[in-house]
Amino acid sequence: MQRLSITDPDFETRFTNLVDARREIAQDVGHDVSDILARVKAKGDAALIDYTMRFDSHTLGEDLDGWRIAPGECAAAHAALDPDLRDALELAAQRIRAYHEAQLPADRDYTDEAGVRLGARWTPVDAAGLYVPGGRAAYPSSLLMNAIPARVAGVERLAIVTPTPRGEINPLVLAAAHIAGVDEIWRIGGAQAVAALAYGTDRIERVDVITGPGNAWVAEAKRQLFGVVGIDMVAGPSEILVIADGSNDASWIAADMLSQAEHDPSSQSILITDDAVFAEQVEDRIDAQCAMLSTRKTARESWDANGALIVVEHLDQAIPLANRLAAEHVELAVDDPEALMAGLRHAGSVFLGRMVPEAVGDYVAGPNHVLPTGRRARFASGLSVLDFMKRTSFIAMDRPALEAIGPAAVKLAHAEGLPAHAASIELRLKHGSRT
């Protein structure tokens, strides 16, 4: 864990190193992933059978029941949930759906002063593939965050791929799939599952967009397949930046920091405060709380390797630092968070005030928790309905409209050395009897 003070003579160097540090797993997976993608493309289902046995100790077999989880299993898992837990999932789904329905874009259709009709129409992709991790990262909340925006966008076919080690799957994931109305759940994971969704196999139809979190192999597979399919993003380890003054309860802030540290040893938690004593209190509370967590091994490793406490002279200095970090989650635990937010340009999601822990955004607030990491918030946004839609522009004009703007296009075509472009317009201007 690093301790930095803005008054230190080497602060700029140390902070720059913090900003530039890469926390992705230091493994060269690119070659391995390329081999997996090529094999699935060439061998299809046979490759999936081999990889699933090798990595998940699960036999897919020849029967489709060994490959897919039936809708009835999802409905049964939903019905068997503890009522309070079922209500919690339903509330989360309701709020996620309402927030994303408000994101739906409007079509445009208008005629400009030249008489040219212009516009754009939004339509959903035909099919989306959702990757749902298994093992330690089996999160039903992520399924809701990916599937519900796709449904809101109007996607007709939702196909989930998820590893089922030894054939087992988290019943909460099945219940969430039932709530979201997922069409297909396939018992495959890893880079091979991403390849199956992108290329298609005899059993699995290809999709147009693939979203959802995964390990380094899954992220690399998505990166290599971008262009064959659309993807949401190449996500890295989770991160949180908390900007807090000394009026906060140190235990609250410590818990917020640990909420990200417990995700993965590569996760990062950073506190910026104008109170050095408060920073020490938070550090003490982190030590005490971490020792009591069932996830303490992961949280401790993350905090020790990637955590940071940064002391500034006044909180206005925190915002330029936050913009350089461009963190996935930013909490503004101060009296007037709006004043700080006004200068905050780069963040995946912002949590305003002392009573808004980042964790509430992971589950029930409504905005999507699939967010850009690794400073990608400088140029990327969180998952939305737009990731499952595309915009098609259209143009309509009559002869007077073409006469108004066509000559300029002719000049530009000739200037670019493209005479056929120019001719396609000139012929209509010269011989415009057809409508």
The DSSP line for 334-357 is: SS-HHHHHTT----SEEEESTT--
Residue 369 has pLDDT above 80, yes or no: yes
Strand order in the sheet with 2-5: 2-5, 308-311, 268-273, 239-244, 329-333, 349-352
* pLDDT on residue 137: 61
Residue 170 has pLDDT above 90, yes or no: no
* pLDDT on residue 349: 97
Residue 435 has pLDDT above 70, yes or no: no
Which pLDDT band, with edges at 50, 70 and 90, does 337 fall under? Answer: very high
**Active-site residue, from 184, 262, 283, 328:** 328
Beta strands in 72-215 (DSSP E): 108-111, 117-124, 127-131, 157-161, 184-186, 209-211
What is the distance in angstroms between the CA of the first residue and the CA of the last residue of the chain?
Answer: 72
Mean of pLDDT values over 46-63: 90
Residue 26 has pLDDT above 70, yes or no: no
* pLDDT on residue 136: 54
Beta strands in 86-167 (DSSP E): 108-111, 117-124, 127-131, 157-161
CATH class of 30-106+125-231: alpha beta
**Active-site residue, from 58, 78, 263, 329:** 329
* pLDDT on residue 24: 63
Residue 59 has pLDDT above 70, yes or no: yes
* pLDDT on residue 25: 54
DSSP state of 266: T
For the question of residue 329 being annotated catalytic, the response is: yes
Residue 263 has pLDDT above 60, yes or no: yes
What is the C-alpha separation between 93 and 97, in angstroms, rounded?
6
Residue 433 has pLDDT above 70, yes or no: no
Mean of pLDDT values over 326-355: 97
Prediction pTM value: 0.92
Residue 133 has pLDDT above 90, yes or no: no
What is the share, in percent, of the chain residues with pLDDT greater than 70?
97
CB 230 within 8 A of CB 208: yes
* pLDDT on residue 434: 61
* pLDDT on residue 396: 97
Which residue intervals of the chain bear CATH 3.40.50.1980? 2-24+236-365, 30-106+125-231
Which pLDDT band, with edges at 50, 70 and 90, does 23 fall under? Answer: low
Residue 168 has pLDDT above 90, yes or no: no
Which pLDDT band, with edges at 50, 70 and 90, does 383 fall under? Answer: very high
Q: Which fold has domain 2-24+236-365?
A: Rossmann fold (3.40.50)
For the question of residue 414 being annotated catalytic, the response is: no
pLDDT, tens digit, for every residue of 218-239? 999 999 999 999 999 888 889 9
Neighbours of 419 (CB within 10 A): 11
Closest to 185 in 3D by CA, of 67, 287, 39: 67
* pLDDT on residue 61: 78
Residue 22 has pLDDT above 80, yes or no: no
